[in-house]
Amino acid sequence: MEAPALHSEFLDDVLPRIRQDARVAGVAITGSLVGGRPDVYSDVDLVLAVDDEAYDAVMKERLALIGSWSALVAGFTGEHVGEPRLIVTLVGPPLLHVDFKFVRVSDFAERTEDPEVLWDRDGSLAEALAGKPPAPPSLDLQWFEDRFWIWVHYGATKLGRGELFETIGFLTYLRETVLGPLAARRAGAPPRNVRHLETVAPEEARALRATLCGYDRHEAARALLATVDLYRRWSDVDGADVARRHQAEDLSLRYLHEVIAGL
């Protein structure tokens, strides 16, 4: 694993400290430092495997433990990304973003991609990984289709009312939730919001610029129409078993055009 100097220095310092806690069975690393293109702006994604019987106690002590292992500046739990086992931190100075995810040893093999094991107390982590392959994330195109046209109507109501901050935020939501994953999928990359799209899917990233807008109702209207156009093109995958919601599409688009005509 190649890492920038700051990241390497952090790992060299923190791993021996973590190993002193007998409740931790091992440490692995994921993210761009393992399978991506790490640079000085990359964060550090650590997975700490904790003995099952000690897990509840460790979870109660997480921030204090991290503070004993590193120069903790600030940290909070990861419910905002649907991962309460996660502690998002800044350590330093110099400042470095480090995510500490605490998992039970029995849950360690549940993963979407293979981590790099940095330390394995008794070989149980390597054994768990060898016994179960990763389950890469997949796109549920039906999930998108069942929601997208309702979302289009919602965006049109906000545009019509002149709630431009809400409209702009909603366009961002559609890029993150729908168009970003579809764009990554088209480029053969793992489907995930809009991170790294400029690198992994440059053509799609250029197309997404049409979904941006300033604080202007007519620009927002154009961006909504561009969002619809990209969704139609990128979700139309040959052989995909998707029940298209044609009535919802027709009625929502008719409503959107009526709102735009009244601007």
- Tell me the C-alpha distance between 150 and 19, whole Å: 51
Indicate if the pLDDT at residue 251 is higher than 80: yes
Question: Does one domain contain both 196 and 227?
Answer: yes
Question: Does one domain contain both 253 and 148?
Answer: yes
Question: Does one domain contain both 119 and 220?
Answer: no
Indicate if the pLDDT at residue 231 is higher than 80: yes
Question: Does one domain contain both 65 and 181?
Answer: no
Indicate if the pLDDT at residue 240 is higher than 80: no
The two tokens of residue 165 are: 């901050």
Question: Does one domain contain both 38 and 64?
Answer: yes
45 in a structural domain = yes
- Confirm if 234 and 187 have CB atoms less than 8 A apart: no
71 in a structural domain = yes
Task: Give residue-wise pLDDT tens across range 162-214.
Answer: 999 999 999 999 999 999 999 999 988 888 778 889 988 999 999 999 999 99
For the entire predicted model, the pTM comes to 0.86
The residue from 97, 131, 165 where one domain ends is 131
AA letter at 190: P
Task: Give residue-wise pLDDT tens across range 62-99.
Answer: 999 999 999 999 999 999 888 999 999 999 999 999 99
Question: Does one domain contain both 77 and 174?
Answer: no
Supply the range of the domain harboring residue 214: 141-261
Q: Output the average pLDDT for the chain.
A: 94
Q: What is the pLDDT of residue 190?
A: 81
Nearest alpha carbon to residue 27 among 56, 41, 9, 47:
47
Question: Does one domain contain both 157 and 244?
Answer: yes
The residue from 131, 154, 170 where one domain ends is 131
39 in a structural domain = yes
Task: Give residue-wise pLDDT tens across range 198-209.
Answer: 988 999 999 999
176 in a structural domain = yes
- What helix, strand, coil percent values describe the chain, rounded to 5? 55, 15, 30
For residue 121, the domain's CATH number is 3.30.460.10
Question: Does one domain contain both 150 and 227?
Answer: yes
Say how many domains are in the chain.
Answer: 2
- Tell me the C-alpha distance between 10 and 6, whole Å: 6
Angle between helical axes of 246-261 and 141-161 (0-180°, round to 10) = 20
For residue 229, the domain's CATH number is 1.20.120.330
The mean pLDDT value for 205-228 works out to 97
What spatial distance separates the first Cα and last Cα of the chain, rounded to whole Å? 55
Question: Does one domain contain both 254 and 145?
Answer: yes
Task: Give residue-wise pLDDT tens across range 91-144.
Answer: 999 999 999 999 999 999 999 889 999 999 999 999 999 999 998 878 899 999
Question: Does one domain contain both 109 and 22?
Answer: yes
Q: What is the CA radius of gyration of the chain?
A: 22
The residue from 108, 131, 154 where one domain ends is 131
Q: Under DSSP, is residue 77 helix (H, G, I), strand (E, B) or coil?
A: strand
113 in a structural domain = yes
- Residue 238's pLDDT band (boundaries 50, 70, 90)? low
- Tell me the C-alpha distance between 3 and 34, whole Å: 9
CA angle 214/219/223 to nearest 5° reads 100
74 in a structural domain = yes
136 in a structural domain = no
- Specify burial of residue 78 (Cβ count, 10 A radius: 0-12, 13-18, 19+): middle
Question: Does one domain contain both 127 and 147?
Answer: no
Question: Does one domain contain both 186 and 99?
Answer: no
